[in-house]
A and B are shown apart, each in its own frame.
Chain A
Amino acid sequence: MNPSLNASPADGGHGYSGIPRWLYLPAAVGALFVLLPLAAVLAKVNWAQFIPLVTSAASLDALGLSLRTSAASTLLCLVFGVPLAMVLARRPFRGQRLLRAFVLLPLVLPPVVGGIALLYTFGRQGLLGKSLELAGIQIAFSNTAVVLAQAFVALPFLVVSLEGALRTAGNKYEAVAATLGAAPTTVLRRVTLPLVMPGLASGAVLSFARSLGEFGATLTFAGSLQGVTRTLPLEIYLQRESDADAAVALSLLLVAVAVAVVGLSYRKPGRQVGA
């Protein structure tokens, strides 16, 4: 399949890919398993109606809302996720493993469960909701609820990517900078963050992508109203009830946006390393 005629184990070094050939078959099946359903969606698209379907007022509202809320939740993930990853990667403390396990929990939790948990935290009858309502802040059925639901499920992606990058980078340079008299904040700004920038960037992009696809927690916690809380996934879910063509067209739109976002994330780090 991949003949490198003169390559022999003795050549060593350059040409060796380190993969036994029989791996290609299951790898191809794995790739097909992901690609085939996408192809099936493509085959179902009603192309004649595609443009009108994805440019209807409801679709545009949903797309715009999805992009805006996902951007906001990514920002929220950065603001709280970066410090969290730093603490987890650099400062051993009691209960650290436990904390990490809990931070990663939304990765495996069914989103509906996340939605219920958020409801009992920020809802009107919730743990914080009552005090928030006294302060005049209402979260239920608002943009904010959507952003919170998205940030809840997206935060682990940022923390995992960044913590991995921090551990791989090690703290040699940071230690050197510190011995040269740099204050901790300066070290963070001038040494640590530039060092892990690729990991941080891909973590942020993954968070954005996850936010874009958020469905269960939003449905449970935020509700569904055009232009306010009905994001693209919720619009797809609703359209499926009455107009299968619209649901398929919107699915393709969401896939396209997701592919663009993820594609971006896997090009950027490489470029930055080169720069």
Chain B
Amino acid sequence: MNGNEPFLQRESVKSVLASLLSIVIGLAFGALVVLVVGLTSKDLGAGSAWEGIRLIFGGLFSTGRGPTGLLTWGFNGQSIGNMLFRAMPLIMTGLSVAMAYKTGLFNIGAPGQYLMGTLVSLSVALGIPSGSLPKALIWLLAFCGALLAGALWGAIPGMLKAFLNINEVIACIMTNWIAANFVTWMFSVSSFKNVVENTKSSYIYKTTYGLVDGAYVNGAGVATAKMGLDKVFPGSQVNGGILIAVLFAVGVYVMMEKTTFGYQLKACGSNRHAARYAGISDRRNIVLSMAIAGALSAGGAGLYCLSGNTEFFWSTYQSLPAIGFNGIPVALLAVCNPIGVIFTAIFMSMLSISGLQLTNLTAYNEYITDVIIAVIVYLAAFSLVIKMWLGRRKKAGRANANAAPPPKPQPAAADDKKGGGAQ
């Protein structure tokens, strides 16, 4: 964009404004639901609704209730640390969706890739006997295993798309449910089910458990290094994984924006046929793009599982992980900018922390934050319209602004489906 353009007319500024507007509308809708429920319910009242609304907006800084029963506010290291911890896998799944979207693919397969990452990272971390290898190496093997598994899993819809022209959305949905059943199957016949602690056999061991002489011992396994973050945010789950996730975001940004490879990927996304005409192998790039997206999702699972303080409920054949799906709002809200993903992921986890506070402190529950997220995604679906509206409102006397065709944020969406006669 040239420098002469008015500030509010710039594409990037309009994107940020559109996202902020979506967030505000989403939060307002959540507040409205709470208000209506509070006012119409017999048990709740306007007072509780007001408390709920304040928690929706500022739950991160809630410190519970004071002796008089009023909500208290202030710095809450535990909440902030947990927010960063939750943001860690979300950054990865958000990157996965964003990166695929930039190359013209809608990666709704993130949940399945995430599950495959879970399967492999846990199996490697728990399968290698403690002591046979240094802990750091086991961690690294497990993480890289997750990346690889995700890449392979993501490549399946990629190949179906590239060679058989099957719509990647449908293929991804199918592979999601295949993964859910496959992971359940593998864990159900594995020896990783927690039989040491009572009533926990429906969960897989935390990775802090290690295999010592054929039995699992807590403390002998691996866990991501805390890197001092537990001192900054005492009592929270945060660990060094968040830094790794941020590094990945920067890496994806550099790859997409500063390398020839990234340029080729984006070219295929904008117009597959034109890219091929320019000598770019479109098939190879579609497969690679989905593989990288898959690796990123599964990497999120690796970081989450290898934290050492998370447990995986293995009988997952009926449900897909929310972290995978939430990569979609994270990416859309960030307009698929890898650096933006860091912030939107943190925002999403802030919402979920607010939701927890809402559950703990009031009669409302955390699902209202999912409603808010859904509203934001819904608005993201027509961010184009919002952007056009913003452009019209903030028009700075540029007569040709309206005459020019509206900018397309989803370059390949329509073209892609037109070509996909064989869905």
Partners in one complex: no
